[in-house]
Structure 1
């Protein structure tokens, strides 16, 4: 039985890795088509500038993510993880095929439409995290015969979620690299490769993955009814989830400010080029991956959930405040520590949510995290863009401040209230 659980986890890891690679493949491909490029039907659509068209193209994708993540996780609670995951991957497959075709014939409107459709399916990452939580619960039950051993249950959930997070980090790292290599064969080739990855995920899910959600409601409801009545945003009506929403919103706002604007700071203050930014990002991602694989479960076993979450958030606030005063090797060291702290918090938070909410809400709750992250992404872009007019270091300082706000809310809502 334990081997069967391990097989399910390996399939979830492969699906997550391939999906994230597919999602990040197009990024190095699209920009050269619109910025400093020869005039084409693609980059001169409706008489708009290449910069404007690229901005719209980048904005429509997270809009799709925002919409999709609000209901896809909840649908997996209602209709089953395996079914919803496979169906969203099929939609993703067709979305990438249409994107490849749109790039080949240089049809901008069709490209925007297909990217929006593909963005909606990004919500299936929430399903992968929900599957990890389900597998953790099953592993704990297999080892102990029931769910009464809370320490073992928490440890197994943390292990499974951390492995899923490591697959996310590796996928986001490898995707742009592969996309950059494939771009020399035409922009459409990267989209076609992403479509191939999506179809491979469908085959894995259909052939190997067993259903992990065993608490599917018995009363019937249509997909549209479920998407409307059980979507993740409705969880905010619940007091505990509303507190979580605001706490995670400021955390995600801080993290997005850092990720979106540290490349600008590196260029502005240290003269980094694209390769240098890529290497700095790779360095941080490696530490995030290693932490997820080998450290987070040990931290949870020794210190629990809330205490290391608080310390990770305080450490992030400190690191982001320090970053503007660093240079050279010291910058890379701070980035490495930041990656460790981000991986720690991200590995523990889903487990904390699962242990404080009904297991049937794992999918919807994981969807709420993705939705909140998307909302924060928009606010971060606006706030950081304004501060960037003053100095490239101010978005980093603001990121540090937002970590403090999130830490304060975490303590007030979830620590002080239990003392």
Structure 2
């Protein structure tokens, strides 16, 4: 497990390094500022396609080979980005990186393979903490490597460093990560592959959980897409202070997922933690746009950090319970693909609502929608996988 967390951390550092530099480099290439969000969106579109694809493929071929292939593809995409000289090359690099980043479904499936139901929430929380740490460190490194002048941001240096991170993750996977998906499970997954996605979507509990994921991730993405603009225009916050706010949220999320999640999951059911996480996000969304200054906004933003940190591993645990041992990759691929769809739809909805009603209203719309998601979370009456004829196995593979 430690090897997987290290690999995820390296991969997320590389992803985060690109974020602070990409807007400046896109402008350097002559791309209009209004179109820059399109290039960020391409990444999410790639994840939307890649997550279900790689998850299902890893059920048939094994987690390790598919993870190796996607890490290599991400490294190649970052090399293309390093030498991109026009908008088309930039778009290609972001789309391929997004497709490769769909490998997050493989990481989740790996954790599900090597843990029991009792161990899984804590392990998924630790995986989330690895994501969070990488996302905190990545933008800081990218900003440092990109340079201090907006007009001369060095994307070549940043993108090549990100490619190195992916290559290091590739080498760590090759050298240290053992296959978690047993050969008999891979053979069974291959025999059941035809029509699997539709059979999975026929499971009522899985459909409910995917709907909750779409609603909550979409709402959170509305916040992420609106907060920076609202804080800059409404509160006069500088980019540096915005960076501090997001780092503050990241530290809270890492603390909750890496330190507290194990203790909480031993006392409370994942349904309760999922609902609690959503309700904390709802409260945060209501009060953030009422803050008179950035310091007051830290209180509801802290609630948002705690809520989102509780939601992700808890709903992931519920999702894994709907999957049999031969289909975890496919189920978690659908989960991650649905989350990516939320990250595409949320900012688009926020943009339209802002144009019609101003910068505060998207927060309140997102709160109302998230509240509906909380209502949809309930304790299942039975194991959906078993009801479908594919009883999940509690027998975990031996961890590496």
When normalised by structure 2's length, the TM-score is 0.87
Shift of the alpha carbon at 1:372?
Answer: 0.9
Displacement of 1:280 after TM fit?
A: 0.7
> In structure 1, how many angstroms separate the alpha carbons of the residues matched to 2:107 and 2:320?
14
Q: Deviations over 1:124-160 (max 9, x none)?
A: 11111111222223xxxxxxxxxxxxxxx32x11121
Q: What are the equivalent positions in structure 2 for 1:232-251 lying under 5 Å apart? A: 235-251=200-216
Partner of 1:259: 224
Pair 1:53–1:392, CA change in 2 (3 A)? closer
1:212 paired to 2:180 = yes
Say if 2:101 is the partner of 1:126. Answer: no
Give the aligned partner of residue 292 of structure 2: 327
- Matched residues, number: 375
**Alpha-carbon spacing, 1:221–1:364, altered in 2? closer, same or farther (3 Å):** closer
Matched residues in 1 for 2:277 and 2:40: separation?
31
List per-residue Cα deviations over 1:162-196 (Å, max 9, x = no partner).
11100111111211111111113721111111111
Deviates more, 1:114-123 or 1:361-370: 361-370
For 1:52 and 1:312, how far apart are their aligned partners in 2?
A: 33
The correspondence for 1:282, drawn from 244, 247, 250, is: 247
Could you say which residue in structure 1 is the equivalent of 2:327?
Answer: 361
Distance in 2, Cα, partners of 1:241 & 1:340:
25
Match for residue 63 of structure 2? 81
Question: Structure 1 pair 166/75, CA: closer, same or farther in 2 (3 Å)?
Answer: same
Looking at structure 2, the residues matched to 320 and 219 of structure 1 have their Cα atoms a distance apart, in angstroms, of 45
Partner of 1:402: 369
What SS does structure 1 have at the residue aligned with 2:321?
helix
Is residue 2:134 matched to residue 1:171?
yes
Aligned to 1:17: 9
2:273 corresponds to 1:308: yes
Structure 2: give runs of 5+ residues left out of the alignment: 148-152, 384-400
Cα distance between partner residues in 2 of 1:220 and 1:380: 33
- Name whichever of 233-242 and 395-404 sits farther off: 233-242
Relative to structure 1, the CA distance from residue 327 to residue 357 in structure 2 (aligned partners, 3 Å threshold; closer, same or farther) is: same
The residue number in structure 1 matching 2:87 is: 108
Q: Is 1:157 aligned with 2:143?
A: no
Conserved? CA contact 1:80–1:211, under 8 Å:
yes
Q: Does the residue aligned with 1:165 lie in a helix, a strand or coil?
A: helix
Q: How does 1:224-239 map to 2 (within 5 A)?
A: 229-230=195-196, 235-239=200-204
Q: Distance in 2 between matches of 1:58 and 1:288?
A: 23
* Whole-Å separation in 1 of the counterparts to 2:272 and 2:363: 25
Change (3 A) 1:354 1:220: closer
Unmatched 5+ residue regions in structure 1? Answer: 1-8, 44-48, 138-152
Say if 1:111 and 1:312 are closer, same or farther in 2 by CA, change over 3 A: closer
**CA contact under 8 A between 1:71 and 1:230: conserved in structure 2?**
no
Cα pair 2:81 2:90 within 8 Å, conserved: yes
Query: What is the aligned partner in structure 2 of residue 92 from structure 1?
Result: 74
Pair 1:273-2:238 in alignment: yes
- Superposed displacement of residue 252, structure 1: 1.2
TM superposition outliers: structure 1 runs of 4+ over 3 Å: 219-222, 228-231, 414-418
- Please tell me whether the aligned partners of residues 135 and 160 of structure 1 are also in contact (alpha carbons under 8 angstroms): no
User: Within 1, Cα distance between the matches of 2:207 and 2:268?
Assistant: 26
The CA distance in 2 between the partners of 1:77 and 1:27, in whole Å, is 31
Change (3 A) 1:394 1:242: same
Aligned partner of residue 13 in structure 1, secondary structure:
helix
Contact between 1:74 and 1:230, CA under 8 Å: does it hold in 2?
Answer: no
What do residues 219-253 of structure 1 show as CA deviations (whole Å, max 9, x unaligned)?
Answer: 6959xx96x8556x763233332222212111111
User: 1:94: how far off?
Assistant: 1.3
Q: Secondary structure at the match of 2:187?
A: coil
Structure with more helix by fraction: 1
How far apart in 2 are the matches of 1:311 and 1:33? 40
Aligned-pair Cα RMSD in Å: 2.3
